[in-house]
Amino acid sequence: MNKLIIVLIGIVIVIGISAFAFSGNSFESQSKSIYEEGFTFNDVDKIRKSLSIQKIFMSSPTEITDHTISQYCASLTELQNPVEHCATTVITDVNGNSLGNVNMGGTLDGPTMALAILDTSDIFSSDNEVDFVFQTMIETLVCDCWEEQQPGDFESISAWLDTAKTKYFQSSQTTLKSKINGLNGMNLILEITSKDGSYLWTLIILK
């Protein structure tokens, strides 16, 4: 399942059709290095602890810094090349069933992007799991400031995700993509795509 998810997200990024996009705050100038701002590889532990509250479990990260990055972290190398350091994890439910992956990638100095990739059988059947994983990713790696800033005029992260689900359900397109730009100086990309009777959800966070 995990290898399938990695392959699918590579395909989605190449052929995805943009359905709607929203811009938040404009980018702020940064005097510090990108590696000194925002999240680090160590934040995987924070995500793991938060997810465990909802009985969603994350494996310890597998750190990859050799030539196998393109094999095991294809979703990251599609976004940025080269990727020198990848940390990949597996997410499971309380019964041990695989839900997807959370990956971070960048250079040896630190991560420049993070991805959560989830696979569900129905567009609405796993609302709680998708919402909680994506909200945890955003609040941990970007900021806990969504309701204050309301990027794209969405009052909450759940409102953004619910709008995307509804638009996807009403659309005849295979892939939907929505963007939030400039939230705490970062870009968020949400993708939903159908493949072989299931739905692939992807949240991309870019510094």
Q: What is the pLDDT of residues 130-176, one digit of tens each?
A: 999 999 999 999 999 999 999 999 999 999 999 999 999 899 889 99
Q: Return d(Cα 69, Cα 131) in angstroms, integer.
A: 28
Which pLDDT score, from 0 to 100, does residue 121 have?
A: 86
Q: What is the mean pLDDT of residues 119-133?
A: 81
Contacts (Cβ under 8 Å, ≥6 apart) of 204: 79, 113, 114, 115, 187, 188, 189, 190, 191
In this predicted structure, the answer to whether residue 25 has a pLDDT above a threshold of 80 is: no
Residue 76's domain comprises 2-206
Cβ proximity of 107 and 77 under 8 Å: no
- If pLDDT is split at 50, 70 and 90, which confidence band does 15 have? very low
The encoded tokens of residue 144 equal 């806990």
Q: What is the rounded CA–CA span in Å between residue 42 and residue 44?
A: 5
pLDDT given at position 127: 63
Of the listed ranges 76-80, 174-178, 201-205, the least confidently predicted one is: 76-80
Does position 95 have pLDDT exceeding 60, yes or no?
yes
Fill in the DSSP letter of residue 20.
-
If pLDDT is split at 50, 70 and 90, which confidence band does 200 have? very high
Question: Is it the case that residue 9 has pLDDT exceeding 80?
Answer: no
Type of residue numbered 23: S
Write down the pTM of the prediction: 0.82
Alpha helices (runs of H) in 1-68, residue ranges in sequence order: 2-15, 44-53
What are the distances in angstroms from CA 1 to CA 66, 79, 129, 133? 23, 21, 17, 18
Confidence at 11, pLDDT banded by 50, 70, 90: very low
> Which helix (H) or strand (E) is 127 found in, with range?
helix 127-141
- Asked if pLDDT for residue 107 goes beyond 60, the answer is yes
CB neighbours (10 Å) of residue 140?
A: 21
| Residue 157: Cβ-neighbour burial (10 angstroms; 0-12, 13-18, 19+) | buried
Distance (Å, whole) CA 10 – CA 17: 14
More confident residue, 133 or 19: 133
| Number of CB atoms found within 10 A of residue 21's CB | 13
In sequence order, the β-bridge partners of residue 91 are 58, 100
Number of domains in the chain: 1
